Amino acid sequence: MEKRADLNSILPFLPLFLRSSTLFWPSQALEALKALALGPAVSRVRSGGVLFDAILDLRDSLGLSSWELAPCTASGYALFFDEMMSGMDSRVWFEEVVPGMARLLLRLPSLLEAHYLKSDEMFGEGKAGLRFMGPQEPGLVFLNQELIAALLSCAMFCLFPTSDRDVRCPPIINFDVLFASLNRNGKHCQEQKVRCLVHFFERICLRMPTGYVSFERKVLPRESSDHRVTYPTAANWSTSTVPLCSFEVFSSGLIEDQPHETIEVDFANEYLGGGALKWGCVQEEIRFMINPELIVGMLFMACMEDNEAIEIIGIERFSCYMGYPGDLPNSLSLVVSLLDRYGSSFRFVGDYLDNKPYDSIGRRKTRIAAIDALCSPRMWQYEVEGLVRETNKAFCGFLDQSVYKRRLKWYANSSNQEKSTGISENENRSEVEGNSDSESSQVMETQDNVGIATGNWGCGAFGGDPEIKSIIQWLAASQALRPFIHYYTFGEAALQRLEEVRQWILLHGWTVGDLWNMLVEYSDQRLNRKTHVGFFAWLLPCNKPSDVPHTSEQ
C-alpha cells in the first residue's frame, strides 16, 4: 500500500495512518470508537453535548486538537440533538445511529483496502482509486456507497485533518461550520440542512446501500490531441453544422424530479459543493443535502478551471424537501433579500425512496454534471472570449469523451457532412477509423436516450444573463450530440419568451454554427451599445415571421 501513488496523494486528507502496508486507527482512537459502537450504556453518549466531547477526544487521539473547530460548534451539536430533535428521534440517534456510525468507522481501514483492490480489478491499477484529483488531471474515482457512508461519518465526527491546505486543495468537509451556524435566532435553512444529513445517517444505519458512485474530472485539452476532443475556439463554434437538438421548456418542476434519463446540471461553484457545508442554500447546496453522497467529492476534487467539469454518476437521493431549488432571479436589487427568502424557504420534509435503476457496473442511473459559471461577468459575458468560456464549460460537462468521436463519425456518415461538423473531428479521425458502422450504431443506440436537464445556470446572484445562458446551454448540448435538453425556468421572468424563441429558431432549421453566429452578432451590438434589448427581443421579428436575421450561411 505504501507504494500506491493514489493512496499517498489522499492520505494527508484522511484520519487514518499507514504502516507496513496496512491502514489503521491509532490505538486510542480505536478504543474510543469501540466504546461508541457499544452504545450509550458503555460510551455514556446520550446528548449532543456529550457527543461533542467524544468528538474532541477522538480528534485529540488523532493529533488534531491543535487545529480548532469553528467557534460555537459545541453549542450547535447540543442545540440540535438536545433541543431541535424530538426526544424519540434523539434516543434513536444515540442508541442506534451513533453506534452504527462508529462500527462503520471501525471498518474504514478495511473498506479502503478493499476499495483499492476492487478499483484495480475493474479499471486497472491506479486508474479509479480514491486519490487527490488536481486541476488538469482527467480521471475517475469509483467508490462503493458503504465507503462513502464511512467517509461522511468522519465528516460528522469532524475527523478530517485541516492543516497544510492551500488554494489548490479541496475544501474541508468536516461538519463543524454547519453545526456552528445553528442558533435559535439563525437561518432556519441551516437546521434543515442538518436534518437532511442526519436523516442520511439514520437511513444507512438502518440499511446500508450496496451500489457504486463514480466521480469523474473532465478536461477539454487546450493543446491538439489525437485521442481527446479539445477546447473549441470561436471559429470552431462558428463553422459547426451540427443540428440543434430538441429543446423543451418547463415553467414548473424540478431538475431532480424529471423522469427521463438525463445529465442533471449542478449550478456549481468552482469548488465543488460551494457553500453546502457553510451558509449556502441555493441550487447546488440543496442538491448536496438531498444527495449527501455528493459531499464526498469535495474531499478529493480540487477547484475547477475554465476547461474542466465534474460528472458524478450513481448517487442516491435520501430526502424530500420543499422550497426554492433554483438560482436566484436575475435582479440585483433583490439579491440580498431573496437570498434570505429562498434560503429560509428550504425545508426537509421526510424520507425519499430512490427507485432509479442501476447500470451494468452498479451505479444508479442518476448523472450530475457540475459546471461553474462566471461570477459577476457583467459586460464580459458578451465578449467573444466570455461566450467561448461559458459555452465550452457547458460543453465539457455535457460531453462524453469515450463515445463522442464515434458518435460524431456516425452523424457525419449519416448526413454526409463529415468535413463541416465543426469541432475537432479532423484531430480525432485516427481513433474512429477502426470502428465499423454497426459498432457506431450500437453506440448511438445506447447513448441517444441521455439528454440534459438544466435551468438558469449562472444567473441570479452570479449575475449572468438568463437569455444568453439558456442559448449557450442549447448550443453545448447540441454540439455534444445530446438528443434533447429539458430547460426548467423556475419562473424566471426574463425567460417568458423562451418557448417562443425555441419555436422560431427550430422553424428556421438553424445549426449550432448559425445560432452561435447570431449570438455573437447580438453580443457585439450589445457591447457597442447598438442595442439595449435582451437577446430574445433582438432575435424575434417585430412585424412578421419572415423577417429572419441573416446568418453566415444566408
**Band of residue 207 on the pLDDT scale cut at 50, 70, 90:** very high
pLDDT for 324: 63
The closest alpha carbon to 33, from 13, 62, 64, belongs to 62
Q: Which amino acid is at 294?
A: L
The domains found in the chain, sorted by start residue, are 5-210 (no CATH), 219-270+305-318+354-402+449-539 (3.40.220.10)
Respond yes or no: is residue 96 known to be catalytic. Answer: no
Beta strand 22-24 pairing with 17-19: antiparallel
pLDDT one-digit tens code per residue, 67-77: 899 999 999 99
pLDDT for 344: 61
pLDDT one-digit tens code per residue, 423-466: 544 443 333 333 334 443 443 444 568 999 999 999 988 899 99
Please report the sign of the dihedral spanned by the C-alpha atoms of residue 327, residue 305, residue 520, residue 551: negative
**Band of residue 552 on the pLDDT scale cut at 50, 70, 90:** very low
Least confidently predicted of 89-93, 166-170, 427-431, 499-503:
427-431
pLDDT at 387 over 60: yes
Which candidate in 146, 191, 284, 390 is catalytic?
284
Give me 492's grid cell.
Answer: 424566471
**Band of residue 341 on the pLDDT scale cut at 50, 70, 90:** very low
| pTM confidence score | 0.91
Percent of the chain residues topping a pLDDT of 90: 77
Return the SS3 of 150. helix
Respond yes or no: is residue 60 known to be catalytic. Answer: no
The closest alpha carbon to 484, from 381, 372, 398, belongs to 398
Q: To which residue does cell 439558456 refer? A: 470
Which candidate in 285, 316, 390, 467 is catalytic?
285
Q: Which of 86-90, 337-341, 423-427, 544-548 is predicted most confidently?
A: 86-90
pLDDT at 554 over 50: no
pLDDT at 501 over 50: yes
Mark the binding-site residues for substrate, compressed into ranges. Answer: 269, 283, 324
Respond yes or no: is residue 6 known to be catalytic. Answer: no
Give me 266's grid cell.
Answer: 449542478
Which candidate in 266, 308, 311, 327 is catalytic?
266
pLDDT for 158: 98
Which DSSP string corresponds to 497-523?
THHHHHHHHHHTT-BHHHHHHHHHHHH
The closest alpha carbon to 309, from 487, 515, 492, 454, belongs to 454
pLDDT at 332 over 60: no
pLDDT for 491: 87
50-69: average pLDDT? 96
pLDDT at 416 over 60: no
Q: To which residue does cell 459545541 refer? A: 74
pLDDT at 336 over 90: no
pLDDT one-digit tens code per residue, 508-529: 999 999 999 999 999 999 999 9
225-250: average pLDDT? 94
Q: Which residue spans within 97-255 are E strands per DSSP?
A: 139-144, 212-219, 246-250
Which DSSP string corresponds to 425-439?
TTTTHHHHTT--HHH
As a whole number of angstroms, the distance between CA 226 and CA 219 comes to 15
As a whole number of angstroms, the distance between CA 37 and CA 34 comes to 5
Distance of CA 526 to the CA centre of its chain: 32
Q: Which of 181-190, 235-244, 422-431, 541-550 is predicted most confidently?
A: 235-244
pLDDT for 442: 42
C-alpha to C-alpha distances, 318 to 91, 175, 279, 296, nearest whole angstrom: 21, 18, 21, 15
Which DSSP state fits 302? Answer: P
As a whole number of angstroms, the distance between CA 194 and CA 343 comes to 14
Across the chain, mean pLDDT equals: 89
